[in-house]
Structure 1
Amino acid sequence: MSIVHESWSNDVVKIFAFSCKVAEIKGHVIVIGWDVSDAACEMAKFELGWETREVNFEVTIDIEHKDSLHPDLV
C-alpha cells in the first residue's frame, strides 16, 4: 500500500493511521508526501511516527520539503 499526499494536516495523518489500524493491514505501507513548509514536514513525520508506533505492519515514512507546483515537478 502506498499513500501519496502533498499537504499534511493533522486530520489526514490521524485518518490514515486509524484506517490502517481498522483495515488490519498486513505487510508494508510506504507513506510518501511533501510540503513547502519545513515545519509541516517535520510535524507530519512526527505525527505519522507517533500514530503508527503500535501497528502490526512495517511503515516507511518519506516526507520531503518541496513545492508540488515547482516547474521541475509539474
Structure 2
Amino acid sequence: MPHDHPAPPAQTEWPDVDLMRRYVRIQERREDGLVAFEFSIGWPELAVELLLPARAFEEFCAVNRAVVLTD
C-alpha cells in the first residue's frame, strides 16, 4: 500500500542580496543623547533595533558605510 506524502513546499525566490550594503533607519534621537535605530545588512526589511550614544552612532554609520533610510 503506497504512502501519500505531502508535496514539499515550493521554494521561495529571494532577491539577490549584497552583504556589503548596510542600512540604518533612525527611530528616535532621545533627549538623553541616545539614538534609537534599526540596522540591517543586505535587506533593509530585516533589521535589528539598536541604541547608541549620538557620537558612537555617527561612528557606527561611518565604519559600516551605512545608507540612512527615510520613510
TM-score exceeds 0.5: no
Which structure exhibits the higher relative contact order, with contacts defined as CA atoms closer than 8 Å and separated by 6 or more residues? Answer: 1
Larger fraction in strand? 2
**TM-score, length-scaled by structure 2:** 0.30
**Higher helix proportion (structure 1 or 2):** 1
Which has the greater radius of gyration? 2
TM superposition score normalised by structure 1: 0.29
